[in-house]
Amino acid sequence: MDRRYFLAGSCMLLANPAFAVGTKSVTDDAGREVTMPVRPQRIVSLYEGLLTIPALELGLNVVGSFGRDDDGGSLFGVDFIREVLGRDAGAEGIVGTGPLGGLDLERVRALKPDLILGSELDMAMLGQLEKIAPTYVLHTRASKSTGFESQRKMARLLDKEDVYNALYVQYRDKIEEVRGVVVAYGQPDPRQSTAMLVMVRDDISVLRDLTGGMQALRDLGYRALIWSKSGREDAFGDGWRTPLSAEEFPRLNPDLLLATDGFVAATDPTDMLSAKLDVISPGWRRFSRPAQDHRMIFVPSAKIATTTVASAMHMLDAIKRWALENPV
C-alpha cells in the first residue's frame, strides 16, 4: 500500500473518535436501529436531570447539555450538575444547546458530537438530529423505568459497567449503614415501614418511583403508602406524579413522610415548603401525625430527583441526618 494513503487513513481515524474506537449497531428505546461509537468521546445530552447527570456520574464526556447557556451556567432554577455531583459545568467545558423551550440545531452541530442522547420528548426532531450525529433515544418516563435503572442501561450501552458497578457497591454499603442508624436511634425498621414522597409547588403531588431518591427509599425497605381508594399503587397513574388534594394531605400517616420542592431550592427547603403548605392546606401541622411526631423530612428536589446513584446517596444522607437528630 502507498505510504501516503496509509498515513492519510490513519489521520482520519485519529481525527474521528467514532472510527478510532469502532462502531456498533444497537436498538434504542424507540425501537430504532442506531449505529454509534462503542466509546463515544463527545456527547450532547438533551435532558439534563435524567440524561446528563447520569452520564457525567459514569465518567462520560458531555460537551453540551440542554438547559445551559454559552458559558455552562444553568438556565433552570437550580444547577443540577453542581447540586447532585458537586461539579462546575463551565469549568468542565459543558455548554448549552439553546434556550429553554427551543433546541438550537446549529449550536448542537458546532459542538461536533459523536453521539446525541435524547428522550421520548425529542422524537419529533430525530430526523434533524440524526443528520448531525447518531442519536440514541433512552426512555426516561416509562412507567416501568424506576430509580436509576436508566443509568444502569446507559452504563451497559456506553461501556461503563465497571464504573456503575463500583458506584453500586458503595451504594449498597450505604443502604446497610443508614438502615442500621435508623434502627439504632429508635425509629421503626424501614423494612417494616411505609414512606411517601410528595412534591409541594402550588399544589401537592405524590411522586412515583422514577428517581434515585425514590429508589433509596425502596432499597432501604420502605413500602409505598397505598392511599388511593382502589388500594393499589398502580392506580396512581403512569405519570411521574399524581395530584393529592389539600384535604387528603393532613390525613396521610406514613411511617416516614418526605416533602420536596419543585426544583427551585438548592438548600434546606423546610421553611419555604412549610409556608407553602400553610397556604395550600391551612392547619396541616395540627392534623398531620408525621409532622407532630417528627417523622417528616424536607429535602431539596435538585439533589434527589435525578436518575442516578448520586441522587440516591443524597436521599440516604437526608434520612441518616433525620434519624440522628430525632432519637426516640
Answer with the residue of higher pLDDT: 226 or 292: 292
Domain match, 22 and 124 both: yes
In a domain, 8, yes or no: no
In a domain, 4, yes or no: no
First to last CA, the chain: 80
Q: Residue 79's closest CA among 262, 264, 212, 207?
A: 264
Provide mean pLDDT across the span 101-105. Answer: 86
Query: For position 101, what pLDDT does the model report?
Result: 73
| Lowest pLDDT segment from 121-135, 226-240, 252-266 | 226-240
User: What percent of the chain is predicted at pLDDT more than 70?
Assistant: 87
Query: For position 144, what pLDDT does the model report?
Result: 54
Domain with residue 110: its CATH number is 3.40.50.1980
In a domain, 158, yes or no: no
Question: 261 and 200 in contact (C-beta within 8 Å)?
Answer: yes
Q: Rounded CA gap, 138 and 252, in Å?
A: 35
Q: How confident is the model at residue 98 (pLDDT cuts 50, 70, 90)?
A: confident
Whether the per-residue pLDDT at 135 is higher than 80: the answer is yes
Domain match, 132 and 190 both: no
Q: Residue 141's closest CA among 62, 214, 238?
A: 238
Answer with the residue of higher pLDDT: 262 or 192: 192
Domain match, 124 and 209 both: no
Answer with the residue of higher pLDDT: 77 or 228: 77
In a domain, 298, yes or no: yes
Domain match, 135 and 191 both: no
Q: Residue 305's closest CA among 318, 292, 296?
A: 318
In a domain, 170, yes or no: no
Query: For position 2, what pLDDT does the model report?
Result: 42
Query: For position 76, what pLDDT does the model report?
Result: 84
Domain match, 132 and 50 both: yes
Domain match, 130 and 194 both: no
Query: For position 4, what pLDDT does the model report?
Result: 37
Domain match, 101 and 23 both: yes
Q: What residue numbers bound the domain in which 215 lies?
A: 186-325
Domain count, the chain: 2
**What digits encode the pLDDT tens for the residues 52-71?**
999 999 999 999 999 899 99
Region of 59 please: left (phi>0), alpha (psi -120 to 50) or beta: left
- Among the three residues 140, 155, 171, which one is the final residue of a domain in this structure? 140
- Among the three residues 140, 172, 201, which one is the final residue of a domain in this structure? 140
Domain match, 117 and 23 both: yes
In a domain, 166, yes or no: no
Arithmetic mean of pLDDT over the chain = 87
Domain match, 316 and 205 both: yes
Whether the per-residue pLDDT at 310 is higher than 90: the answer is yes
In a domain, 178, yes or no: no
How many CB atoms are located within 10 Å of the residue 196 CB?
23
In a domain, 2, yes or no: no
11 CB-near residues (< 8 Å, 6+ apart): none
Whether the per-residue pLDDT at 90 is higher than 80: the answer is yes
- Cα angle for residues 114, 133, 98 (degrees, 5° grid): 95
Q: How confident is the model at residue 161 (pLDDT cuts 50, 70, 90)?
A: very high
Q: How confident is the model at residue 262 (pLDDT cuts 50, 70, 90)?
A: confident
For residue 74, the surrounding DSSP H or E stretch is: none
Query: For position 234, what pLDDT does the model report?
Result: 45
Query: For position 21, what pLDDT does the model report?
Result: 56
**What digits encode the pLDDT tens for the residues 169-226?**
999 999 999 999 999 999 999 999 999 999 999 999 998 777 899 999 999 999 988 8
Alpha helices, DSSP H, located in 126-193: 126-130, 149-157, 161-184
**What digits encode the pLDDT tens for the residues 23-34?**
999 999 999 999
- Among the three residues 79, 110, 140, which one is the final residue of a domain in this structure? 140
